[in-house]
Structure 1
């Protein structure tokens, strides 16, 4: 008799559960969905949350995640939300990822080239794209790199999304023997120190400055130095420690001058960038590098041969700086004003701006400003870069 009662109780519980589950799924299946959408077209690499595509919704989104827009084409987006009847609903919509950004051609009205150049113009003139690794670039017009003269040309660029850019320019093929170097203005460290009394003024140094007298730098009021730790022998080459690095960092620390370092990179992918960072970390682990590590990529005259997009290049720099940051060092991106404005998209880390002018008109944020490469200071024979630190 007891067994029969237990069986009846179990069957009753099972019946109740079945009824409950059925009601639950019935409510979900027939849950009220009232959603209207905004424009469902998004630019490639644009950071957009699910909610940015929704104009109105009868409830609250549970996970308002950032959608993946790293590749072109149609994408199905799914998300869940709790509707006004307190029911969890799964909904879907399609977006279209597009590329509306035209390729960039880095050229002014005149392009000068020494007669007899062995490299082609389309290799020399930077032609890149935010998405395509190799946009189509060609030159319209006749010219002869083996004949001195001026040639009026047009360079065209197009990407896989049919975005196009064209620029007219004059090619000036000249005899290098007849070119006289222009004298550039010397900037004295003492003058900069007097002008920027409320900021720290320092230098960046490499083997090109030769033997530096850090005792004299200290006396001159140098507040910090950023030292070139090294580089590779071109893209894919072996690592090379700057021949003055060990002496420079030891002497700087001896005279209690705060130190940062920079690495001149030729990385063409994320793996190489991470390896660059790990190599730097090994070189500096025994020193106090208070001002951190800067990423310096400047191989613009060979950019076309790297077969990378501008997005790829930014991912490379981020990979380097992420690795440095993981090792508990400060990190930043070094570049000149124009490249910062048109190519780099550095939002995560500090920026070291290079802009040789009395007053920069760069509108982005920056931690350091390299104001010249013709600086003079007691303790260094020859020119040196002068930098301003903003704390």
Structure 2
């Protein structure tokens, strides 16, 4: 309600300024545009705690977070029973990716193994696709690839659209405009949603800034930011990926670490 009122006042002020400028011999007063209200996080970061390199979040003395990881073929074969015993509550498995230069789509080499192993160990799952789509049609192609690979499998967590540049190379999608990146994200998410799965957007502050999030209203964000004690994203997010060098039993390589924040009504 406050934001709507601010916009109405701004519009009225602008209309008055133009009317005054239209009068002969009148330059009109300078009209300052009201600033947007400062972003306020839904979380009280005083409840964020770190122990043994892992974050937890509490409100009113009650833990309101889950610990998770995300993996791909780069982690090799994983002992998912050991992962489950190391207090990991959920996992995202990479289902596939599009090549950043040639544009071909690939199934992650360990996707089926990871899905089966994690499910057998009782770990709730989501999946993510690393996109390099340059058109909405390619984004829809990626979504269709994901849906085909899932084959109707039930997921406890969303299907994630991960579109970001690849370090060290000139990617096919690097020069897309904000509008083009947004159209691609919308196309992917709408296709996933139409199939009955919950979509999600992944990215760091730069990646999210490249999207018009008003076009993606209602879709949760998975925010990536490393090396900080408190996340600094000025937008709402439900998962924070806070490290890429985590250590988890059953995984021989460093692994991404995540914390999911549980809403009060859950």
Shared fold, TM over 0.5: yes
Structure 1 runs (4+) deviating above 6 angstroms are 52-56
The unaligned stretches of length 5 or more in structure 1 are: 1-47, 57-187
> Which residue of the partner structure matches residue 328 of structure 1?
196
Contact 1:231–1:263 (Cα < 8 Å) also in 2: yes
> Which residue of the partner structure matches residue 245 of structure 1?
111
- List aligned pairs for 1:20-169, cutoff 5 A: none
Rg comparison, structure with higher value: 1
**Offset of 1:382 from its aligned partner?**
1.9
1:192 matched to 2:54? The reply is yes
> Which residue of the partner structure matches residue 214 of structure 1?
80
1:292 matched to 2:158? The reply is yes
> Which residue of the partner structure matches residue 250 of structure 2?
379
State the alpha-carbon separation in 1 of the partners of residues 225 and 191 from structure 2: 27
**Offset of 1:358 from its aligned partner?**
1.8
Task: String of CA shifts for 1:2-55, please: whole Å, max 9, x gaps.
Answer: xxxxxxxxxxxxxxxxxxxxxxxxxxxxxxxxxxxxxxxxxxxxxx99xx7996
Count how many residue pairs are aligned between Structure 1 and Structure 2: 210
State the alpha-carbon separation in 1 of the partners of residues 55 and 236 from structure 2: 22
1:350 matched to 2:237? The reply is no
CA RMSD of aligned residues (A): 2.7
**Offset of 1:192 from its aligned partner?**
1.3
**Offset of 1:213 from its aligned partner?**
0.7
User: Aligned pair in 2 of structure 1 residues 264, 333: CA closer, same or farther (>3 Å)?
Assistant: same
| Greater relative contact order (Cα < 8 A, sep 6+) | 2
- Name the one with the larger strand percent: 1
Q: TM-score, normalised by structure 1?
A: 0.49
> Which residue of the partner structure matches residue 311 of structure 1?
179
Q: TM-score, normalised by structure 2?
A: 0.71
DSSP-derived class of the 1:302 partner: coil
State the alpha-carbon separation in 1 of the partners of residues 153 and 243 from structure 2: 28
